[in-house]
């Protein structure tokens, strides 16, 4: 399906392969790169091994007039069945992670939240305990201001560096300029996060481990397992909970194909295997309509939807 519609010539494919450290894949199903395991093909999927390589790929795409779209670890992401035309830029290859004497952690955007948390724990640095059980990568976490009831990235971020898709140049923003809000930020979609600096505080490994174990246990008890998912579907309305509202209208357990509003938690929609994006979108629309009709509340999607129908 992807190759017949691809925007890329053979020469462009060869160049992308060379520029991206040979990570480039073509007509690549994006279901392989999302936690929901749903998504049609991208003309090209590339994961450059370092920031300089990413800049070169971007500059090449600009010169060749190829559309670009950036994704992180693939959590909180629904890719439509028609896939994505052009080049999908993955930050998966950007994995540098270090700490200095001032307890400032410098982390590239492809580092997983789990790796970031485990490294901070090893270094005896607290402040990231809220990441216990949170999937995804640093880049997506920054854009979404990922967090739990224990905290969010806004509370520990000093600055964020992102690369402009218009020229491959890096822009640096401090915490205030990032515009962090509940499950969101002002970081532009026309840029791709490449690195952040986090200010953490010393804390014993035992204390961190205990808190992280507690939050992971809580998540395990409350959230579905055994099926692919992308985290919470809707943002919690002010003063209420999306899951509670969805459950109150009798939507829990509703299925469309192999997509289901989880019986374990109504704000988690799962893929039992082979679900299509169209199934998931129908399920989303149904939940929104029922909650709006019965409660007068418009649920706001926390997931990001990309691609063609």
18 and 70 belong to one structural domain: yes
143 within a domain of the structure (yes/no) = yes
101 and 86 belong to one structural domain: no
Question: Which residue among 175, 207, 239 closes a domain?
Answer: 207
Mean pLDDT over 216-245 rounds to 88
Task: Please name every residue paired with 108 in a beta bridge, in sequence order, or none if there are none.
Answer: 195
Query: 35-55 b/e with 16+ CB inside 10 Å = b?
Result: bbbbbbbbbbbbbbbebebbb
Structure tokens at 212: 């992280």
85 within a domain of the structure (yes/no) = yes
Q: Is 190 in the active site?
A: no
182 and 235 belong to one structural domain: no
- Whether the CB-CB separation of 68 and 165 falls below 8 Å is answered with yes
80 and 150 belong to one structural domain: no
176 and 243 belong to one structural domain: no
Structure tokens at 210: 């205990």
Q: Which residue in 137, 162, 232, 262 is the catalytic one?
A: 232
Nearest-angstrom CA–CA distance, 282 and 247 = 17
Nearest-angstrom CA–CA distance, 118 and 241 = 30
131 and 83 belong to one structural domain: no
pLDDT value at position 3?
43
| C-alpha distance from residue 199 to each of 37, 102, 185, 221, 225 (Å) | 34, 8, 19, 31, 33
Nearest-angstrom CA–CA distance, 128 and 120 = 8
pLDDT value at position 216?
85
Domain tally, the chain: 3
Among 279, 87, 72, 293, CA closest to 193: 72
Q: Is 302 in the active site?
A: yes
101 and 181 belong to one structural domain: yes
Q: Are strands 77-79 and 68-71 parallel, antiparallel or unpaired?
A: unpaired
pLDDT at position 222 over 90? no
Q: Within 10 A of 214 (CB to CB), how many other CB atoms are there?
A: 13
218 within a domain of the structure (yes/no) = no
202 and 237 belong to one structural domain: no
20 and 36 belong to one structural domain: yes
What is this structure's pTM?
0.88
Confidence of residue 1 (pLDDT cuts 50, 70, 90): very low
Which CATH number fits the domain that encloses residue 246? 3.90.78.10
pLDDT value at position 158?
98
**Range name among 8-12, 145-149, 192-196 with the lowest pLDDT average:** 145-149
pLDDT value at position 2?
39
Q: Is 232 in the active site?
A: yes
Residue showing tokens 């480039």: 24
214 within a domain of the structure (yes/no) = no
Count of alpha carbons within 13 angstroms of residue 169, beta-carbon side: 3
Question: Which residue among 158, 176, 207 closes a domain?
Answer: 207
Residue showing tokens 């959590």: 75
Q: For the chain, what is the mean pLDDT?
A: 94
86 and 140 belong to one structural domain: no
Which CATH number fits the domain that encloses residue 16? 3.30.43.10
Count of alpha carbons within 13 angstroms of residue 249, beta-carbon side: 21
232 within a domain of the structure (yes/no) = yes
Domain span holding position 9: 3-90
Q: For a pLDDT cut of 90, what percent of the chain falls above it? A: 86
The pLDDT tens digits for 121-147 are 999 999 999 998 788 899 999 999 998
User: Can you say whether the dihedral through the CA atoms of 182, 188, 194, 195 is positive or negative?
Assistant: negative
105 and 194 belong to one structural domain: yes
Which CATH number fits the domain that encloses residue 173? 3.30.465.10
217 within a domain of the structure (yes/no) = no
Q: Which residue in 183, 185, 197, 223 is the catalytic one?
A: 183
Confidence of residue 113 (pLDDT cuts 50, 70, 90): very high
264 within a domain of the structure (yes/no) = yes
39 within a domain of the structure (yes/no) = yes
- Whether the CB-CB separation of 77 and 36 falls below 8 Å is answered with yes
Question: Which residue among 72, 90, 108 closes a domain?
Answer: 90
Q: Provide the H-helix boundaries in 123-204.
A: 138-144, 175-178
300 and 228 belong to one structural domain: yes
pLDDT value at position 149?
84
pLDDT at position 218 over 90? no
Count of alpha carbons within 13 angstroms of residue 40, beta-carbon side: 20
| C-alpha distance from residue 18 to each of 4, 24, 27, 49, 57 (Å) | 23, 8, 17, 12, 9
The pLDDT tens digits for 88-108 are 999 999 999 999 999 999 999
């Amino acid at each position: 399906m992807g190759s017949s519609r691809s925007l890329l010539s053979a020469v462009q494919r060869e160049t992308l392969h060379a520029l991206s450290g040979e990570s480039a894949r073509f007509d690549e199903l994006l279901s392989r790169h999302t936690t929901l395991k749903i998504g049609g093909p991208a003309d090209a999927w590339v994961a450059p091994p370092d920031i300089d390589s990413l800049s070169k790929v971007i500059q090449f795409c600009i010169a060749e007039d190829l559309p670009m779209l950036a994704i992180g670890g693939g959590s909180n992401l629904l890719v439509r069945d028609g896939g994505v035309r052009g080049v999908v830029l993955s930050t998966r290859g950007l994995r540098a992670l270090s700490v200095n004497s001032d307890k400032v952690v410098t982390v590239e955007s492809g580092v997983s939240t789990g790796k970031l948390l485990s490294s901070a724990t090893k270094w005896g640095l607290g402040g990231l305990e809220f990441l216990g059980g949170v999937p995804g990568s640093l880049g997506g976490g920054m854009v979404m201001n990922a967090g739990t009831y224990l905290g969010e990235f806004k509370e520990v971020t000093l600055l964020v560096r992102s690369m402009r898709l218009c020229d491959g140049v890096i822009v640096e923003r401090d915490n205030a300029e990032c515009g962090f809000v509940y499950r969101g930020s002002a970081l532009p979609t026309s840029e791709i996060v490449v690195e952040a600096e986090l200010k953490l505080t010393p804390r014993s490994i035992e204390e961190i481990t205990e808190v992280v174990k507690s939050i992971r246990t809580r998540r395990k008890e409350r959230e579905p397992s055994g099926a692919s998912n992308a985290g919470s579907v809707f943002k919690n309305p002010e003063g209420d909970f999306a899951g509670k509202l969805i459950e109150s209208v009798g939507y829990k357990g509703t299925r469309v194909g192999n997509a289901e509003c989880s019986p374990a938690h109504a704000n988690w929609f799962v893929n039992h295997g082979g679900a299509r994006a169209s199934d998931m979108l129908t399920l989303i629309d149904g939940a929104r309509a029922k909650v709006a009709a019965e409660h007068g509340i418009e649920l706001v999607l926390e997931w990001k939807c990309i691609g063609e129908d």
